[in-house]
Amino acid sequence: MLNVQCGDHGLPPALAPFPLHAAVMQHYFDGAYYPMGGGAGIVKAMTTAIKKHGGVVRTGSGEADPD
């Protein structure tokens, strides 16, 4: 039974404690909910909010050298 939800646990079934499994299952009792537009909808909402408040979203800019 724990195998089905291991993706939600973030742990292999053998390492997922029962209270974690119970909390995950409670989430599904009233049905599962997903954001409109899937995961991309979350990204779009976040970038829209950042830009609305004067922020800039940069992608593919690489990392700064810490030295």
Domain boundaries, the chain: 2-52
Report pLDDT for 28.
81
Residues in the chain: 67
Mean pLDDT over all residues of the chain?
83
**End-to-end Cα separation, the chain, in angstroms:** 49
Residue 53 pLDDT grade (very low, low, confident, very high; cuts 50, 70, 90): very high
Residue 34 pLDDT grade (very low, low, confident, very high; cuts 50, 70, 90): confident
| pTM recorded for the entire structure | 0.48
CA distances from 28 to 16, 52, 56 (A): 17, 34, 36
Count of other CB atoms within 10 angstroms of residue 8: 15
49 φψ region: left (φ > 0), alpha (ψ -120 to 50), beta (else): alpha
Report pLDDT for 44.
93
